[in-house]
Amino acid sequence: MSRDEGRRLLLVEDNDINREMLQRRLQRAGYTVISAADGQQALDQMRQAKPDLVLLDINLPVKDGWAVAREASVDPVLQSIPVIALTAHAMESDRQQALDSGCHDYATKPIDFPNLLVKIETLLKS
Amino acid sequence: MKLKNKSLSLRARLYLFSVAILTLFAINVATHLWGSFARSESLVAYRDAADAAQLINDLEQGLEAARQQVLVLATLRETTDEPLDKAERDTAMADLDALRQRLGRLGALAGETTDDYYRRLFNSAAALLGDWEEFYSNYNRINAPQSVESPIRYNDTRQKLEELDQRQEFLAIQRSSTIDGTIRLTDRITVIGFVTTIAVTMLLVILLIRSANSSLLRLKTGVQRFGSGDLSYRIDENRDAGEIQDLARTFNDMSGKLAKAIDEVNSAKADADAANAAKSMFLANVSHELRTPLNAIIGYSEMLQDELGDPGEVDRDQVQHDLGTIIVSGRQLLGLINEILDLSKIETGKMQVNLEDFLPVPLVVQVCDALSPLLSQRNNRLELDLAEDGEISMFSDAGKLQQIVTNLFSNACKFTENGVISVSAWADNDWLLMSVTDDGIGMTAEQQGRVFETFEQAEVTTGTQYGGTGLGLAIVRDFCVMLGGEITLKSAPGEGSCFTVRLPLTAPASAPEAA
């Protein structure tokens, strides 16, 4: 494994099955993964655990992914953390909305995992 | 001027205009007739005056001649005894008669104003002529009185004649000056009337043109404003009367109908746009719903493939659990596809109803059992209140009833957390009543109105929070209608929802068209 050991990712996903699956695969890929199941938890975790990168589902209870991304992008502490939006919405307008809301990248479900890893590495290095 | 009154109709204005012109014309004609009458009057007066003067002159000369003859004969009689022969005497008497006739004609010409003068002349002249006649008839008698030489009578008659003449002349002058005044007056009236008629006619024409023009201008403005898209513009109907008011009213009626038609077209277009937007939203939701289980299926499969490729011991329990997750996600996907197909069948009228005898209560229990994992997912508790198993039997479509219960139950589980979901079923005469009640988030009245519509969930954001395509309740509603029943909903925000299904125990042979 050539990946940086100990890089910490925050995975935000409300669907238990999908969260568990992605968490396991990311751990296998060598990342330390912490998770959140709704938008508010996501912001709290970003502040407390200070992850290196956030994988953010958009359809979240309490506070949706767009709101989380917007809030993080204007927060002086959080705005430096790169965010990748994960969504089952596959329209072009959704992609644009992700970038407009302050996300740094965008991945459509079903997730193309190797491609996602490339995106994560690119953002972590920059 | 009546034309300033805007409430007169165009026809009334034209009539008034014609009457005014005719009246002026009649006044002109009357003035002219009056003038003509005065002129002929004056002509008669001059002629009478001239006749009278001529008669007076003749009378004067006749009297003079008769007196000369009488004086000559009186002298002859004194100096000779020669008698007057009969022919001479008859001639003289005829002359005197002629004088009497002239006097009579003069009398005919005398008016009231000269009556007194004439009577005095007549009396005097009658006495004079009487004297002369007596003179002629007694001429041959010896002792006849002889007083004809005396000039007193003659002079008196001459004086009376002179007075009458002067009086006649004075009156003629007076009368002619009055008549001349009248002629001047009528001439002036005629000229003034003529000029006034022209002026008033022009004024009326101008007013008529202006009023008609302003009415037409208002109509034109209305048509232009409406035509340029101001659909609420209406012409002021009360500014005109009659035909133009009718026209304005007709135009306003037409405008109203047109505006309504345009509104209808616009609202139909808005409806079509809304339906389109709903379908797009539906497609987006379907896409989203298909991708969520697919994400799990593909993700777990890839992960298992990776893990099984690793060297070392395989955690068999872990693999079995992961495969179970893949199966659940696959079933979820299948269920979703079935729902979409069901709806498509209902919409195209191809949904079959399979009637059979069955017991509905065990069917409800079976569904609740099967969905117990869904129930515990959000920590909900189930309460059942059902009739005895064999108490109710139905002749209807068991599969559809099963789907109705499934959809309502899973819906209740989806929108309730840490709550109670109650399912009850009982018979009421020939009807099965089945209700699913939860104490979840509930709905506003407005949401309740839309919740059975295809592609609709209570909120656009509901799908993102609670999942689902908004098809379940639409399918339930359509199935209830197909089985000859109905579904009702009682709900309030924060107080949960209660769906009650009412189906006939014996379904009608020909199912009503589902909406």
d(CA B89, CA B271): 136
CB B299 within 8 A of CB B330: no
Taking the C-alpha atoms of residue B55 and residue B214, their distance in angstroms, rounded to an integer, is 73
Instruction: Choose among B291, B59, B232: nearest CA to A18.
Output: B291
Residues 293-322 of B with CB under 8 A from A: 294-300, 302-303, 306-307
Q: Which residues on adjacent β-strands are paired with residue A106?
A: A85
Q: What pLDDT is attached to residue B43?
A: 82
CB of A117 less than 8 A from some CB of B? no
CB–CB of B244/B10 below 8 Å?
yes
Cα-trace Rg, chain A: 13
**Cα A62 to chain center, whole Å?**
17
Six token digits for residue B73 = 């004969």
B-chain residues near A28 (CB < 8 A): 303, 306-307
Flag whether residue B325 sits within 8 Å of chain A, measured between CB atoms.
yes
Return the HEC string of B186-248: HHHHHHHHHHHHHHHHHHHHHHHHHHHHHHHHHHHHHHHHHHCCCCCCCCCHHHCCHHHHHHH
User: Residue B291 and residue A110: Cβ atoms within 8 Å?
Assistant: yes
A6/chain B closest Cα distance in angstroms: 21
Residues of A in contact with B461 (CB under 8 A): 64
Per the CB < 8 Å rule, is B464 touching A64?
A: yes
Nearest Cα residue to B403 out of B440, B354, B455, B350 = B354
What CATH number was assigned to the domain covering residues A8-125? 3.40.50.2300
| Of the candidates B474, B2, B448, the residue with the CA atom closest to the CA atom of residue B208 | B2
Least CA distance to A63: which residue of chain B? B465
Q: If one looks up domain B265-350 in CATH, what number appears?
A: 1.10.287.130
Chain B contacts in chain A segment 32-71 (CB below 8 A) = 58-59, 61, 64
3-state secondary structure string, B265-321? HHHHHHHHHHHHHHHHHHHHHHHHHHHHHHHHHHHHHHHHHHHHHCCCCCCHHHHHH
Q: Helices B242-309 and B10-79: crossing angle, nearest 10°?
A: 170
Query: B244, B215 in Cβ contact below 8 A?
Result: yes
Query: B420-436: per-residue pLDDT in tens?
Result: 999 999 998 899 999 99
Collect the ranges in chain B with pLDDT lower than 70.
1-7, 142-148, 454-470, 510-515
The domain locations on chain A are 8-125
CA dihedral B46, B50, B55, B60 (to 10 degrees): 130
CB half-sphere exposure, B381, CA atoms < 13 A: 4
Q: What is the dihedral of CA B81, B87, B89, B90, to 10 degrees?
A: 170
**Closest chain B residue to A39, measured at CA:** B465
Is the Cβ pair A59, B307 closer than 8 Å?
no
The DSSP secondary-structure symbol of A50 reads -
Distance of CA A106 to CAs A17, A83, A84, Å? 21, 9, 5
Q: Which chain A positions have a beta carbon within 8 Å of B299's beta carbon? A: 18, 21-22, 25, 110-111, 113
- My answer on whether omega of the bond before A110 falls inside 30° of 0, hence cis, is yes
| Chain B: residue whose CA lies nearest to A61 | B465
Predicted local confidence at residue B72, as pLDDT? 85
- Give the best residue of A28, A59, A66, A115 to mutate against chain B (max B CB count within 10 A): A59
B299–A108 CB contact, under 8 Å: no
Domain ranges of chain B: 25-195, 265-350, 351-504
Q: CA–CA separation, B330 vs B482, rounded Å? A: 30
Express each pLDDT in A46-59 by its tens digit. 999 999 999 999 88
pLDDT confidence of residue B512:
56
Chain B positions in Cβ-Cβ contact with residue A22 (cut-off 8 Å): 299
Given a cut of 50, the residues of chain A with pLDDT beneath it are: 1-3
Q: Is B288 on the interface with A (CB under 8 A)?
A: yes
- pLDDT at site B241: 77
CB contact under 8 A, B464 and A59: yes
The whole-angstrom separation of Cα B345 and Cα B347 is: 5
Name every chain B residue with its beta carbon within 8 A of the beta carbon of A110.
Answer: 291, 294-295, 297-299
The CATH topology of domain B25-195 is Four Helix Bundle (Hemerythrin (Met), subunit A) (1.20.120)
Shortest Cα–Cα distance, A98 to chain B (Å)? 16
For residue A37, the tally of other CB atoms under 10 A from its CB is 18
| Cross-chain CB nearest to B299 (options A28, A59, A111) | A111
Q: Tell me the chain A residues in contact with residue B306 when contact means C-beta distances shorter than 8 Å.
A: 25, 28
**Minimum Cα–Cα distance from A26: chain B residue:** B303
Q: Is B111 helix (H, G, I), strand (E, B) or coil?
A: coil
Within 8 A of B296 by CB-CB distance, chain A residues are 15, 17-18, 21
The answer to whether A109 contacts chain B (CB < 8 Å) is yes
Residue A17 and residue B329: Cβ atoms within 8 Å?
yes
Tell me whether residue B61 is exposed, middle or buried, using C-beta atoms within 10 angstroms of its C-beta: 0 to 12, 13 to 18, 19 or more: exposed
Q: How far, CA to CA in Å, does A21 sit from each of A2, A38, A121?
A: 22, 17, 20
Q: Which two tokens stand for residue B343?
A: 């709806």
Which of A11, A14, A15, A17 to mutate to probe the B interface, most B CBs <10 Å?
A: A17
Structure tokens at B90: 């008859």
Q: Which site among A27, A40, A109, A115 would you substitute to test the B interface, given the most B Cβ atoms closer than 10 Å to its Cβ?
A: A109
Q: Do A28 and B306 touch (CB under 8 A)?
A: yes
- Side-chain-facing half-sphere of B69: CA atoms under 13 Å: 19
3-class SS of residue B487? strand
Strands lying side by side in the sheet with A8-12:
A32-36, A8-12, A53-57, A83-87, A105-108
Of B392, B378, B397, nearest to B508 by C-alpha is B397
| Under 8 Å between Cβ of B244 and B237 | no
Give the three-state DSSP class for B494.
coil
Helix (H, G, I), strand (E, B) or coil at B37: helix
CATH class of the domain whose range is B351-504: alpha beta
- Sign, CA dihedral B66-B72-B75-B77, equals negative
Bridging pattern class, strands B394-396 and B356-358 = antiparallel
The two domains B265-350 and B351-504 share their CATH topology (first three levels equal): no
Furthest-apart CA atoms within chain A: distance in Å? 38
Q: What is the pLDDT of residue A3?
A: 47
A18–B465 CB contact, under 8 Å? no
